[in-house]
């Protein structure tokens, strides 16, 4: 291992920061034909939800998703764990239970030992087992840039699907993990992240959203999405637009990983974060008291982030009791669809 380059040096971006930007993705989707009408397809790509949902019968629906990305840390097993938790999160965001996983892998076989790939896959399998899901195989290709993730299938009752289109005025907005993984991953790639800060970020990214998902169901949540590459404001904005509502956010209430603010102040801003801000900021109104660093962190391209949940006020106690670390960060309001006031 000592002769092998740092894993993050093989990638042009870090984790979900390597995704196409929201503006680029919107351009591509606009050129696609509308999804074929099928009454069994409960959730497709038209609302920008986290996963597709397909009704099998009156009591069962399939939740199906895929997610993969370039190395975000140098520890191969940790990268595998992060990537698996990130892919599984899409099922949890829909209120589902993960069931079956397939590995999706690109690997530079001439420059990275296959033993390193084995560690990546072992990390993914560990997290899948923690989620109660089975890894049943996958697919690999030879690629100069390593990539890893999973396709995940899960189950949900058709009447209990949580989408990003159900937020209503008066709902409270709850974020279940702190922000800052994009800044920290970028600093790590620049060899500037203190080890203890990186360790905190890894703990956040490898934590499953299972308890948060169960809590939002118990709380009667109407809408949710997970916070990944498009950043907190990007994913929140998509949920608000799909729901036809606006929101207000208290910047000081948004939790951050310890050390993230300092790294953002030093300029460790991911390219994906810059793309997020360019696309989303026209629909965001910042108060004069929201400093520049806070603005960057609210756009920060997250990897394996938490859920942002639109929760009716009467369900807040149930949600807070089960989703450890959850924070109320704002509220849904009537207003221009997708607009966000940050105070």
Q: How far apart (Å, rounded) are the C-alpha atoms in residues 328 and 228? A: 19
**Phi, psi (degrees; rounded to nearest 5) at 6:** -55, 140
Reference 260, options 308, 303, 298, 297; nearest CA is 297
What φ, ψ does residue 224 adopt, rounded to 5°?
Answer: -160, 160
Token pair of 245 as six digits? 């509502």
Residue 284: closest CA among 241, 246, 340, 234: 340
Catalytic residue among 16, 18, 101, 311: 16
Specify whether 18 is catalytic.
no
What are the catalytic residues? Answer: 16
């Amino acid at each position: 291992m000592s002769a092998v380059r740092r894993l993050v040096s093989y990638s042009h971006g870090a984790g979900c920061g390597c995704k196409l930007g929201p503006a680029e993705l919107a351009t591509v989707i606009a050129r696609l034909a509308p999804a074929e009408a099928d009454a069994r397809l409960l959730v497709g790509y038209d609302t920008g939800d986290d996963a597709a949902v397909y009704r099998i019968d009156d009591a069962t629906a399939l939740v199906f998703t895929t997610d993969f990305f370039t190395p975000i840390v140098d520890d191969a097993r940790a990268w595998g764990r992060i990537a698996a938790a990130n892919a599984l999160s899409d099922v949890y965001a829909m209120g589902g239970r993960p069931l079956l996983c397939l590995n999706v892998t690109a690997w530079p076989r001439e420059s990275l030992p296959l033993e390193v790939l084995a560690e990546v896959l072992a990390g993914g399998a560990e997290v899948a087992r923690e989620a109660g899901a089975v890894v049943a195989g996958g697919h690999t290709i030879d690629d100069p840039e390593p990539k890893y993730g999973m396709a995940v299938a899960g189950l949900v009752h058709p009447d209990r699907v949580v989408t990003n289109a159900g937020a209503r005025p008066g709902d409270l907005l709850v974020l279940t993990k702190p922000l800052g993984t994009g800044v920290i991953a970028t600093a790590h790639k620049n060899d500037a992240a203190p080890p203890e800060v990186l360790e905190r970020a890894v703990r956040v990214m490898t934590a499953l959203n299972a308890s948060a998902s169960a809590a939002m169901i118990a709380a009667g949540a109407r809408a949710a999405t997970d916070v990944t590459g498009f950043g907190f404001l990007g994913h929140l904005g998509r949920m608000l637009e799909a729901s036809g509502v606006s929101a207000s956010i208290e910047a000081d209430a948004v939790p951050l990983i310890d050390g993230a603010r300092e790294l953002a102040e030093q300029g460790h801003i991911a390219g994906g974060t810059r793309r997020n801000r360019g696309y989303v900021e026209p629909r965001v109104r910042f108060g004069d008291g929201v400093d520049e660093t806070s603005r960057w962190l609210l756009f920060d391209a997250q990897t394996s982030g938490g859920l942002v949940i639109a929760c009716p006020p009467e369900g807040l106690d149930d949600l807070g009791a089960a989703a450890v670390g959850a924070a109320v960060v704002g509220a849904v309001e009537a207003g221009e669809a997708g607009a966000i006031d940050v105070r």
